[in-house]
Structure 1
Amino acid sequence: MAPAQSTQYEVAQHMYAARADDYDSSWHPSYTARFMQLAAPQPGERVLLLACGTGLEAEHAAPLVGESGLVVGVDATDSMLAVFRAKRDADPVLAARTCIVQHDVTNLSGCAAVEPGSFDLIVCSNAFVLFKDPAAVVRHWKTYLRDGGRMVIDVTHERNLRQGLLMEVVAERLGVPFPSDRRWITSRDSFRRVLEGEGLRVDRVEALEKVSGKGTIYLGAEEADAQFDFITGMPLTSELATDEFKQKARPLFKEEWKKASVDGKLEVCDILYVYVARKV
């Protein structure tokens, strides 16, 4: 029953190819503004944006690094980078201070313009939970930081998009690979431990609320079917959500929904944790 497992690079390309045209019309620009205030690029810095997508972080970073700084954006998806390139072509500051590369962000070896030990700031937003081995990714990225350099990454709250977490459990029960991995996040300290385990010093952890503007909601059992359809209709799950999968998964999803509910309600948060860590 299980489909052939795609690589993370292939999953990212598939997920985001159809989202490029309207990505900047979503909640992402307003969230990016909040996130980049915490990242705080400085004049003259070399900044590496991993999973840079349409260049939202670059629009904030390029003016701040100044004429002596550089912003390098790396992403997997052609269509997302096409949007970024169009912005770059239309904006002299982006054109002068950014470099765009298509590459696998979990394996930067041989990536043009990305040299070990050369960056003051590494940023990754709204992508880290796609990676299957968080510690290995942090360990790899750390090699590209200068001593004293910063790594700023966000991960989801443990009850963010709870429906998707339930689907991860269901997929595992059915022996089907799932394209994201969030179950290791059980509190705001989960990713702190990963970062510290790789020798980084965590300077700051912030919980940014109302990421998509919805806030925390509580869903009743009568909404389980609609939420199942919502999750299986997302680009994230489109490859695994065959008719056979959905037929077998729906009753299991309802079982997991019931187990996760408190007083008949499933709590769904709209929060991301942002971590500012330093190479020491």
Structure 2
Amino acid sequence: MTTFTYRSSDNAEVYQRNASFVYSPEYTAPVLKLLDPQPGDRVLDVGCGTGALSFEIAKTVCQPHPVTGRRGFVLGVDLSQDMIDTASAALRQSGLKATEVYFEVVDAYKLERYLEMRGMLASFDRVFSNAALHWMSEHPDLVMRNIHAALRPGGILSLEMGGQMNMIGVRMALHRAVKKRGVDPIEVDPWYFPSPEAYTNVIQSASSHAPFTVLSAELVPRITPLPFESGLLGWIETFGGAFINALSNDRDRERAINDIISACRTDMYDPVTKRWSCIYVRLRVKAVKGGLHTSSSSSSSASPSSSSPRVTTPSNRARSLGIKQDMPGG
């Protein structure tokens, strides 16, 4: 077996090779629709990665607002220098201007301080995040306070992240493989996959001043075929580094990988198509800072149908929708 350098998800080349489905139109269309960017909006993309979705958002917000004529912009932030370098290189080829979309290395735990230094506190119309916030497991409450500080009153937060039961089976196999070799899996597990109720509490507790109103919070289960060439091994190479790198030598790493793949093969590998699939469960949330959304740059509005957020859990969603199967692009 070939020995890989196992990473988290901060290497742009590995991410694009093994996890291109994260940015595929099929998977990102719902969360972009939830964001509903409008011409003239100022948008902060938290955990922007390679900037693929920042560019999509910029196509709309950089158009002039029909009344004020103001043009918006997108600021993409990510902790990974490699991701930001890749996004910045793509910007140079995109035809967009650096005033329309730009990228900075910023720690989400220190986002408020960064925005204060830039004079950008409470200035964004919308904050967006896709497939990033579940990596910020140490202090999700701090991240949410920083996001709250970024939004102007009436600003909208739209996000998608891993939710309760995300990667069920694979995560358990990772835990068992490293525990068998003397590593406490709880200590090295980098993920935060909350329920809608748990994350609603985090969002609503972010600030007592103009607190968030959660408009919707739902879990969306999705059968996700992994890239044919790399399969589950590629997924582990990209996302399993916190577990695999906690093992002390290559022999233990290779044996752990074999254990994980063996444990998952029965349910996740199709011998006919020779393809791996797994269950992604996404937590999709929309919230507004300070109550009903009244945008100065947009004629659109969003309002809750009642004083309580719409919370959808796996059981009641499954009864109404079942599990949706999509094929990733890229």
User: TM-score of the superposition, structure 1-length normalised?
Assistant: 0.72
The higher relative CO (CA closer than 8 Å, separation ≥ 6) is in 2
TM alignment of 1:30-41, pairs within 5 A = 30=25, 31-41=27-37
- Alignment partner, residue 43 of structure 2: 47
Q: Classify the secondary structure of the residue corresponding to 1:162.
A: coil
Query: RMSD value over aligned CA atoms?
Result: 3.6
Count of equivalent residues:
248
Within the candidate set 113, 121, 139, 1:116 is matched to 121
Does the CA-based 8 Å contact 2:54-2:76 persist in structure 1?
yes
Does the CA-based 8 Å contact 2:106-2:114 persist in structure 1?
no
Does the CA-based 8 Å contact 1:20-1:54 persist in structure 2?
no
| Cα deviation code 1:165-207 (max 9, x no counterpart) | 3267556883363252335x2x332212221222311112344
Residue 189 of structure 1 aligns to which amino acid in structure 2? E
Does the CA-based 8 Å contact 2:58-2:100 persist in structure 1?
yes
Relative to 1, partners in 2 of residues 1:240 and 1:60: Cα closer, same or farther, differing over 3 Å?
same
User: How far apart are residue 135 of structure 1 and its match?
Assistant: 1.4
Structure 1 unaligned blocks of 5 or more: 1-10, 215-225, 258-263
Q: What is the alpha-carbon distance in structure 1 between the residues aligned to residue 245 and residue 216 of structure 2?
A: 37
The alignment status of 1:26 with 2:21, answered yes or no, reads: yes
Q: What is the alpha-carbon distance in structure 1 between the residues aligned to residue 56 and residue 20 of structure 2?
A: 17
TM alignment of 1:80-159, pairs within 5 A = 80-93=83-96, 95-108=98-111, 109-110=113-114, 113=118, 115-131=120-136, 132-159=138-165
Residue identity over aligned pairs, in percent, reads 20
Within the candidate set 182, 194, 210, 2:202 is matched to 194
Q: What is the alpha-carbon distance in structure 2 between the residues aligned to residue 156 and residue 150 of structure 1?
A: 20
| Cα deviation code 1:73-130 (max 9, x no counterpart) | 1112232223222321122335441121112122121357572111111111111111
Residue 239 of structure 1 aligns to which amino acid in structure 2? N
Q: Classify the secondary structure of the residue corresponding to 1:274.
A: strand
Query: Which deviates more, 231-240 or 44-53?
Result: 231-240
Highest Rg: 1 or 2?
Answer: 2
Q: What is the alpha-carbon distance in structure 1 between the residues aligned to residue 95 and residue 235 of structure 2?
A: 40
Does the CA-based 8 Å contact 1:155-1:274 persist in structure 2?
yes
Structure 2 unaligned blocks of 5 or more: 1-6, 65-70, 269-277, 291-330
Q: What is the alpha-carbon distance in structure 2 between the residues aligned to residue 29 and residue 114 of structure 1?
A: 34
